[in-house]
Structures are given as C-alpha cells and as structure tokens.
Amino acid sequence: MPVSLVLEQLLNGLQFGLMLFLLSAGLTLVLGMMDVVNLAQGSLYMLGAYFAATLAAASGSFWAGLAGAVLATALVALLLEVSVLRRVYGADHLTQVLATFALILVFNEAVRAIWGPQALLLSVPPELARPVTILPGLSYSAYRLTVIGAGVVLAVGMFLFIHRTRVGMWVRAGASNRRMAQAMGVPIRRVFTGVFVTGAALSAVAGALLGPIFAVQVGMGEDVLILAFVAIVIGGIGSVKGSLVGSLLVGVVDTAGRAFLPSVFGLLFAPEVASNLGPTVASVLIYLLMAVVLFVRPQGLFPVHG
Amino acid sequence: MRARDLSVEQARRGGVAPPRAFVVWGAGSVAGLALLAFPALAQALEWSYYLSLATKALILVLAASALNLVLGYGGLVSFGHATYYGLGAYTVAVMVREGIRQAWLVWPAAVAVAALAALAIGAVCLRTRGLYFIMITLAFAQMVYYFVVSFKQYGGQDGLRAPRTDFGFPLGDAEVYYLSLLLVAASLFFLWRLVHARFGRALQAARDNEVRATTVGFPVYRIQLVAFVISGALTGLAGALMAHHTQYVSPAMLSWPQSGHFMFMVILGGVGRFWAGLLGAGAMVLIEELFHSLTVSWQLYVGLTLLAVVLLAPRGLAGLVEGRRR
C-alpha cells in the first residue's frame, strides 16, 4: 500500500474528526453543564447544511451561504432553548431523550415538507475545487484542506475562549459542578443559553462545510449525532478536551478502518472471508472502541466530575 | 421510613397482592372475548386491513411491555431494544432462507438468539449507570445494526423476504393473529406474575434505592441482568411475530429510531405502570393511523404528540387514568 494513500486517509480522518468535534463540543457542554441529553443537535447540523445550500444557491456564494446558515441556525437554537429545552432541565434523562427524539421527528418532517425529499446540491466553492500538491506525489483536495484549517482554527479558538476568558471559566465551573458554580454567583442560565446557541452555530458550520462532501438530505444528522455521542462518551462527558480527543479518535479510527481493514484482513484470511469480514469489522470498530473504553474507564478518558 | 423505600420493604417481606386484580381481570376477559371474535368479524366485514392493524398492535404491545420491564420496573433506560426485536425477526428470515421452515425449530431459536444477545450486552452495560448506560446500549445496538447490514447474502440494506414458518399446517393471516394474541396474552400473564413476585419487587427496590437494596442483601446486578435477558427474549419473540406478520424483515427493525419508538410507547402508556405497554402501543398505533390517513407529513404530528406527552403528561396515559380516579 503506497504511503500517499495512507496519508490521504489519515487526513480524511482528521478532517472528519475535526468536524465531529464542532458537533460534540456543544453536545458535551450541554450535557456537562445542564445534564441535558440533546439528540436534536444532529437536527441543527442538518438545518445548517440545508440553510447553507439554500442561501448559497440564492446568493451565488458558498461563503455567504455559510455565514447565513450559522446565523439562521443560531436563531432556531435560541427559539428551541426557550421553548422546549428549558422545560426539561430538571427532568430525568428518559424525558430528555424522548423530548429531543420527538424534535428529531419534527425537524426531519419539517425539512422534508419545506425542501422536499430529494437531496440538495451544495457545491464546493470554485476557487477551492482543485487538488493541491502538499508533498511530492501526494495531492489533496484544496477544499478538504480548508475544512481541516477551519476545524483547527475553531478548535484553538474554543480552547482559548474556555481556558483564557472569564465566561470560559464560568462554563468550566458549570460543567464540573453546576450548583456550586451557581452558589458562587455564576449566571448559569444565561451562560447555558449562550453555550447552547454557540454549540448550535458550530454544528451549523460542520453541516455547511461537510455539505459538499456528504449529501445534504433528511436524516444526515442522525448518523453523525451517534458518532458525536460516541466521541464524547469516549472522551468523558463535560470535557471539551475529551470531546476533541474522542472526536479525532472516532474520525481517524472510522476512516482508517474502512480504508485499510479489508486489505489487512486480506493478508490474514482467505479472500472470501476477508471480503466479508473487513467491512463488517470496520463498521463496528468505533463502537467496539467505545465499549472497551467504557469497560476499562467507565467515566471516559478525561473525567470531569470529581 | 421514606415513602420511596416502601418497595424495598415490600420486596424484603416477599411481595404483595396485586391491587384491583378483580376489576382488571374482569375488564380483561371482556376485552379478551372481543379480541377472540375479531378475525371472524373482520372476515365478515372484509376488514382485512384492520385485522393486519390489530396484529401489528398486539405485537407492539408485547415489545413495549417487554421494554417496560427494564425501563419502568428496572429504571434501566435501554436505548437499544430494537436490537433484540430485529435479531428475533432476522433469525426467522435467515433460517427460512436457509431452508429451515419448521416452526418448532425457528421460534425457539429466534427467542434464544435475542436472549443470548441480551445476556452478552446486558452483562457489559449493567456495569455502567445513568447516561453512560443509555449511550452504551445505543452503541451496542449500532454495532449489531452494522453487523447485520454487512451480510450482503441476507439482503444488506434492502432487507430480506421472510416466508412464514410452518407448524405442520400453514399460517394464514388469521392464524398469525391468533398466534400473536396467544403469545401476547401468555407473555403479559408471565410479566404480571413476575413483577408482583419477590423478583419484581426486588427489581423495583433496586430502581428506587440501589444502595439500600444492595445493603438489604439483594444481588442487584444479577437481578437486573435476569430482567434484561427476559426483556430481550420477549422483545425477540415480538420480532419473530412481526417477521411472520409482514413476511419481510429490514434493517430498520434494528435501527435506533425503532428503539426510540419503543421507548415512546412505554412513556405514552405510563412508564412503570403494568399496562403501559398495552395502552402505549395501542395509542401509538391509533395516533400513527390517524395522522397517516390525514397527511403525508404524519411523522411531524407524531413527533409533536410525543413532545406534548413528555412535557405535559410525563406519567403517560396510565398516569392520566390513575390521576382522575384518585
């Protein structure tokens, strides 16, 4: 197997992991701070992609579509937080899972009613629709490289915000012990609304950026949502660092597994066994990873709660 | 003693007599007669569609009641019960595909596969609690989903046709209905005895206060695991019935939205109430049917109904009935 192919798949994994992180960062903070399971995060990601596709088609510019999608999704998230999520803060996880599961049904059908059942087309901006040579013999999509760059910038920005600012300190305090933080005067409700809306905006960024790579269609949020959950459970609920590590692990392991396991098994087993076993094991690999992590460290890799 | 620890006390004493048993069984036998006569009525009036709907409702009652055992009585939020449902169904389809059509082999195999899966998955998952339990049951469900989908010779993403098995006589639509009725009634009776026995009380005690239940001396892990396996086996039975009803199995039966629908039924019925499965699955089928006949966007209204139930009537239909009675 050529080295360039391995590098390419690793870059794909990194790119997917970073986008997953944009989703899981919001998810883990919502979970850690308010103990709310929000299955509808995937719907916000889907909305981001749909808004981006529509606005990009209307304005003729991918970047205008991206900016508009972030604003529109943040607005939807604000309405969602005020109308539904506030009512399930104190409730048990079962209630939250079901309330947000209901939101998924509602969002999926609403999107289908508004945009129709066909997948939308969101094309790569023309200035990035070409390969770049990053190493001799290795050329890589300029668009995917931009996505990686955007993911790194947003991740670094988030870390600086959370570890270097006062509001970031409130967020960390809230995630580690909500009641204590509240007693010390942190306006936890307002901080939380901000965190939720920011998380939604980041999901929209991920949806819009991944739109040209995957299809923009109803149900796109669910698959990625489950992967984001796997990522935060591996990383430890409430920890942004954990969600970054978890997301990158999931992205790389999933992409690399799908790309390489079939040929690795080809070396070990008979061809007909390998061609069946490879894809099967590759598709369950991250869930296996999660089960092993939870078995060894039930609180995830970076536990937050003392 | 705090009120919530009452179940611990009852479990220690060895269970209590079921309340209002007489009324329940009286109403039940009237309903039972109606259910027995239904296929004849349906045939006379050419209601084959309604016979199919009734069969579907019965099967979902079984699946929801099985989930209610762990969700309601055990307090264990399993977000992966579609796994056992789908495995039961797929066992039937795969065995028939491989030429084994004897019902006496296929049905026990379907239940056994589901039970074994529940044993393996439950043994790992029950080491975790709360949110992590929800997520790890979901992760295992996804694993099984992708595992099954990867078998191209059994249909992959497209699903698999599942001709009915044979008891020595062929199964028609009416026979499948009666079989469903029989198995659902037997399962509900079994579950009724189970949750009112010492075992069921201990399970509820562990839900209400795990530390206390452990201190009193209950083997909490083992009790929860047994409940999980029973629940998985009965869900697998529901899956096998569904495979016979629709004569088709698809990966959607294993998918996590399916797990969500089962949870929705239990919540709709009233989590932890015995009749939650019956009320919830029945109401769910009616709601879906109603919106389905009115609009193509029926899932939108099902979702809104679910949202309204969760936010406004968290104790479900059983809770509403009980609330009025008191």
pLDDT tens digits for range A77-112: 999 988 888 888 777 888 888 888 889 889 998 999
Going by pLDDT thresholds of 50, 70 and 90, the confidence category of residue B46 is: low
Mean pLDDT of chain B: 85
Mean pLDDT of chain A: 85
Other C-beta atoms closer than 10 Å to the C-beta of B295 total 13
Report phi then psi at B208, rounded to 5.
-75, -40
Mean pLDDT of A250-256: 90
User: How far apart (Å, rounded) are the C-alpha atoms in residues A18 and A13?
Assistant: 9
By C-alpha distance, the chain B residue nearest A105 is B303
3-state secondary structure of B88: helix
**pLDDT at A1 (0 to 100):** 61
pLDDT tops 50 at residue B326: no
Report phi then psi at B99, rounded to 5.
95, 5
* Residue B319 contacts A, CB cutoff 8 Å: no
Chain A residues whose C-beta sits inside 8 Å of any chain B C-beta: 31, 37, 84, 87-88, 91, 93-95, 97-99, 101-106, 108-110, 112-113, 222, 226, 229-230, 233, 237, 276, 279-280, 283-284, 287-288, 290-291, 294-295, 298-299
By C-alpha distance, the chain B residue nearest A98 is B264
Other C-beta atoms closer than 10 Å to the C-beta of A204 total 31
Most confident region among A163-172, A225-234, A297-306, B213-222 by mean pLDDT: B213-222
Percent of chain A with pLDDT over 70: 98
The answer to whether B81 and B65 have CB atoms below 8 angstroms apart is no
- Residue B227 forms beta bridges with which residues? none
**pLDDT at A95 (0 to 100):** 84
- Of the candidates A102, A222, A280, which has its C-beta nearest B303's C-beta? A102
User: How far apart (Å, rounded) are the C-alpha atoms in residues B300 and B303?
Assistant: 5
Tell me the domain boundaries of chain A: 3-217
3-state secondary structure of B79: coil
Give, to the nearest 10 degrees, the angle between helix A41-59 and helix A3-34: 120
Most confident region among A71-85, A233-247, B145-159 by mean pLDDT: A71-85
**Nearest-neighbour CA in chain A from B116: distance (Å):** 18
Report phi then psi at A236, rounded to 5.
105, 120
User: How far apart (Å, rounded) are the C-alpha atoms in residues B265 and B312?
Assistant: 16
pLDDT tops 50 at residue A306: no
B303·A104 Cβ contact <8 A: yes
List the one residue out of A247, A230, A304 whose CA is nearest residue B79: A230
Q: What is the pLDDT of residues B252-272, one digit of tens each?
A: 999 988 998 999 899 888 888
Percent of chain A with pLDDT over 90: 22
Report phi then psi at A278, rounded to 5.
-55, -60
Which of A228-237, B78-87, B298-307 shows the lowest mean pLDDT across its residues? B298-307
Q: Please, what's the b/e burial string for B139-173 (b: 16 or more CB within 10 A of its CB; e: otherwise)?
A: bbbbbbbbebbbeeebbeeebbebebbeeeeebeb
**How many angstroms separate the first and last alpha carbons of chain B?**
24
Q: Please, what's the b/e burial string for B16-50 (b: 16 or more CB within 10 A of its CB; e: otherwise)?
A: eeeeeeeeeeeebeeeeeebeebbeebeeeeeeee
Q: Please, what's the b/e burial string for A150-166 (b: 16 or more CB within 10 A of its CB; e: otherwise)?
A: bbeebbeebeeebeeee
Reported as half-sphere exposure (CB side, CA atoms, 13 A), residue B179 has a value of: 23
Going by pLDDT thresholds of 50, 70 and 90, the confidence category of residue B112 is: very high
- Of the candidates B146, B263, B306, which has its C-beta nearest A283's C-beta? B146
A31, A101, A243, A254: best to mutate for the B interface, most B CBs within 10 A = A101
Reported as half-sphere exposure (CB side, CA atoms, 13 A), residue B231 has a value of: 33
Residue A132 has what DSSP assignment? E
Count of pairs with CB atoms under 8 A, one residue in A, one in B = 123
Which of B10-24, B157-171, B263-277 shows the lowest mean pLDDT across its residues? B10-24
Query: Exposed, middle or buried, A199 (CB in 10 Å: 0-12/13-18/19+)?
Result: buried
User: How far apart (Å, rounded) are the C-alpha atoms in residues B93 and B250?
Assistant: 10
Most confident region among A226-230, A245-249, B1-5, B19-23 by mean pLDDT: A245-249
Give the global pTM: 0.83
Give, to the nearest 10 degrees, the angle between helix B256-269 and helix B276-294: 110
Structure token digits, residue B12: 């220690």
- Residue B288 forms beta bridges with which residues? none
Q: Provide CB contacts within 8 A for A5, sequence distance 6+.
A: A259
Which of A203-212, A297-306, B243-252 shows the lowest mean pLDDT across its residues? A297-306
Q: Please, what's the b/e burial string for B244-283 (b: 16 or more CB within 10 A of its CB; e: otherwise)?
A: bbbbbbbbebbbbbbbbbbbbbbbbbbbbbbbbbbbbbbb
pLDDT tops 50 at residue A297: yes
pLDDT tops 80 at residue B313: no
pLDDT tops 60 at residue B324: no
Structure token digits, residue A73: 């999704």
* Residue B271 contacts A, CB cutoff 8 Å: yes
Most confident region among A185-194, A219-228, B185-194 by mean pLDDT: B185-194
Amino acid at A2: P
**pLDDT at B8 (0 to 100):** 62
User: How far apart (Å, rounded) are the C-alpha atoms in residues A82 and A171?
Assistant: 19
Token pair 């936890």: residue: A188
Token pair 């079921």: residue: B18
Q: What is the ipTM of this complex?
A: 0.78
C-alpha dihedral (B246, B248, B254, B258), degrees to nearest 10: -30
